[in-house]
Amino acid sequence: MHFDLLISGGTVVDGTGAPGKRADVGIKGKRVEKIGDLHAATATRVIDATGLTVTPGFIDVHAHSDGALLVDGQHANGIRQGVTTEIIAPDGLTLAPLSAENYRMYRWYLSGILGLPPEDLDMSSIKAARANYHNKTSCNVAMFAGHGPIRLEAAGFNDVPLTGQMLDKAKNILHESLEQGACGLATGLSYYPQSYSTTDELVELCKVVAEFGRPLSIHLRNHNVDRAPTGGGVEEAIEIGRRSGVKIHLEHYRTQPGSEGDLESILAPVDEAKSEGVDISLETYPYPVGSSFPQAFFPSWVHDGGPGKLLERLSDPELRMRITAEMKEVMYGRPAGNVWSWIGPEGDQSLPGMLFDDIGEKTGVSLEDAVCDVMVASNLASGFRGAPPQSTRVWRQIEEDVMKLLARPDYMVGSDSIPVGQLPHPRAYGCFPRVIGRLRRRYGYPLEQVIQRVTQNPAERFGMTGRGVHKTGNFADIAIFDADHVNDRASFEDPAVFPEGIPFVVVNGNVAVDHERVTGVLAGEAVP
């Protein structure tokens, strides 16, 4: 028997949670042809995996790499972690489906998160967008239909209720997007124009998603909470599931500094809804703080009309006073304590790494004014991340919570990576090895269980047929690592550092990482 690629001598952990066993994996073309004792077989290329673990490639269910993948398809920060499939467009922060004009406008508005991808791409449909990634990236790319773009196409960047003909138009675009392979709908109700919606609008849209049996991936509402009868939060997500019949996927759902150790309070409403029949899955990343862009701190009215209007308002002295006053009232979380992670080419290049609190002091204006000034100077191309808690006790408790959550069969891992900027959140480089290496070993969880959460679990939830499990006939997406030594090396202080202990990664039968080096092979496909 002859294979194109033979992975010999490793311990195969197949992704189902079953115990690992010593076996060879024979690959022909894109697919796994045989798993077993293949010592008599020949192969064009043999990878000696003696002493290593061979698992399905990891699936990242929350990656803000929409723009980064279009700039550099090699995508070393993701593929070096063993991630062979990324689901982009979480929170509905994405660039399709958008007309050419709306694409340029939303690209500008989202540059703090998605960076600056080419200006002239055809992103007019999910089909067109998929073609921009297919065989142009090292990893497979799945995408949600984004609530943001769909709302822009139906109603513009305007604070208007989506009803009547506009709602019909949105439903048609969503229907077409799902037909063209979107793996669900994603919304982020701290972001715009998504937060202009009401619960009723989301229920109407999700009825379309439910027809396709796909999930709604949701970042819970903390903007315009008056537009949800529940006041936003997890209760709104549950209500959407209950009323529309859609499967709910809760984005980055974990404890945080202040609620560390209290899993009961976040899980009680979820488990109660599940017992009533609402279908809920969840994801988390293994860090105590997050990352975003400063738009998240501005009141709702400041965004109305889009990025041009937003910049005009920030630059108007009278409106500026109103904006900063509203930012100071506790609205959506305070900007204090965050660190600039990316400043675009037009902004002050000395800012990345600096605390928000310190730029105010340096320039002699309030922290809120300083944030507005940076937004204007960088033409909106700026992003931030949190700083981890000073108490290592709190930090470790959150990590322990994350691993307890991942012991639940309804949990998976979404890195929430934002691979843009001078000092990104370390999750963009270290999320998966941190879970399968450092934290799994520290808290003593079984490897097979942890691997199931990042392979079979997401593949089934998001409809990735033929992926997520090692078996004959499935696509050969494979991570090969040293289970005793695999580790993240990306830190808050030095984030853009690759992990160790993952020498080989295979995507659709092609070697994408070879002896810890990216090969430059762009064999990733638009999936599912």
CA–CA separation, 201 vs 185, rounded Å?
Answer: 13
Q: What angle do CA 420, 423, 425 make, to 5 degrees?
A: 75
> Which residue in the set 24, 33, 86, 91 belongs to the binding site for Zn ion (CB under 5 A)?
91
Task: Work out how close the CB of 416 gets to Zn ion at its nearest, in angstroms, rounded to a whole number.
Answer: 4
Comparison of 110 and 490: residue with beta carbon closer to Zn ion: 110
Comparison of 91 and 369: residue with beta carbon closer to Zn ion: 91
Comparison of 114 and 270: residue with beta carbon closer to Zn ion: 114
Task: Work out how close the CB of 92 gets to Zn ion at its nearest, in angstroms, rounded to a whole number.
Answer: 10
Which residues touch 164 (CB under 8 Å, ≥6 apart)? none
For every residue of 166-184, which 3-state class applies, written as one string?
Answer: HHHHHHHHHHHHHHCCCCC
Q: Quick one: which segment of 12-20, 149-157, 357-365, 411-419 binds Zn ion (CB under 5 A)?
A: 411-419
Comparison of 10 and 386: residue with beta carbon closer to Zn ion: 386
Residues 421-440 binding Zn ion (CB under 5 A) are none
- Closest CB to Zn ion: residue number: 416
Task: Work out how close the CB of 251 gets to Zn ion at its nearest, in angstroms, rounded to a whole number.
Answer: 6
Q: Quick one: which segment of 26-34, 322-330, 372-380, 414-422 binds Zn ion (CB under 5 A)?
A: 414-422
The DSSP call for residue 73 is: T
CB 185 within 8 A of CB 151: no
Task: Work out how close the CB of 120 gets to Zn ion at its nearest, in angstroms, rounded to a whole number.
Answer: 26
Residue 29, classed as helix, strand or coil, is coil
C-alpha pair distances (Å), 513 with each of 18, 79, 238, 250: 26, 7, 41, 31
Q: Quick one: which segment of 39-47, 82-90, 96-104, 321-329 binds Zn ion (CB under 5 A)?
A: 82-90
User: CA 311 from chain center: how many Å?
Assistant: 27
Task: Work out how close the CB of 64 gets to Zn ion at its nearest, in angstroms, rounded to a whole number.
Answer: 6
Task: Work out how close the CB of 339 gets to Zn ion at its nearest, in angstroms, rounded to a whole number.
Answer: 17
Task: Work out how close the CB of 62 gets to Zn ion at its nearest, in angstroms, rounded to a whole number.
Answer: 6
Comparison of 33 and 416: residue with beta carbon closer to Zn ion: 416
Comparison of 204 and 416: residue with beta carbon closer to Zn ion: 416
Q: Quick one: which segment of 208-216, 373-381, 408-416, 497-505 binds Zn ion (CB under 5 A)?
A: 408-416
| Residue the block writes with tokens 């889009």 | 306
* β-bridge partners, 291: 385
β-strands 53-56, 411-413: how paired?
Answer: unpaired
Q: Quick one: which segment of 143-151, 256-264, 409-417, 475-483 binds Zn ion (CB under 5 A)?
A: 409-417
CA–CA separation, 145 vs 327, rounded Å?
Answer: 31
Task: Work out how close the CB of 418 gets to Zn ion at its nearest, in angstroms, rounded to a whole number.
Answer: 8
Residues 369-398 binding Zn ion (CB under 5 A) are none
The DSSP call for residue 355 is: B
Rounded to 5, what percent of the chain is helix, strand, coil? 35, 20, 45
Which residues touch 366 (CB under 8 Å, ≥6 apart)? 324, 360
Comparison of 405 and 502: residue with beta carbon closer to Zn ion: 405
Cα-atom radius of gyration of the chain, to the nearest Å? 22
Task: Work out how close the CB of 166 gets to Zn ion at its nearest, in angstroms, rounded to a whole number.
Answer: 26
Comparison of 93 and 459: residue with beta carbon closer to Zn ion: 93
CA–CA separation, 103 vs 13, rounded Å?
Answer: 42
E strand or H helix at 413:
strand 411-413
Residues 433-472 binding Zn ion (CB under 5 A) are none
- Tell me the helices (H) and strands (E) count for the chain, helix number first: 20, 21
What is the size of the binding site for Zn ion (CB under 5 A)? 3
Task: Work out how close the CB of 373 gets to Zn ion at its nearest, in angstroms, rounded to a whole number.
Answer: 26
Question: If binding is defined by CB under 5 A, does position 416 make contact with Zn ion?
Answer: yes
Q: Quick one: which segment of 14-22, 117-125, 162-170, 413-421 binds Zn ion (CB under 5 A)?
A: 413-421
Comparison of 204 and 236: residue with beta carbon closer to Zn ion: 236
Amino acid code (one letter) for 413: V
65, 121, 126: which is closest to 415 by C-alpha? 65
Comparison of 91 and 373: residue with beta carbon closer to Zn ion: 91
CA–CA separation, 502 vs 275, rounded Å?
Answer: 40
Q: Quick one: which segment of 86-94, 151-159, 236-244, 428-436 binds Zn ion (CB under 5 A)?
A: 86-94
E strand or H helix at 361:
helix 356-363
Task: Work out how close the CB of 113 gets to Zn ion at its nearest, in angstroms, rounded to a whole number.
Answer: 8
Q: Quick one: which segment of 148-156, 416-424, 439-447, 491-499 binds Zn ion (CB under 5 A)?
A: 416-424
Task: Work out how close the CB of 295 gets to Zn ion at its nearest, in angstroms, rounded to a whole number.
Answer: 13
What does the binding site for Zn ion look like in residue numbers (CB under 5 A)? 90-91, 416
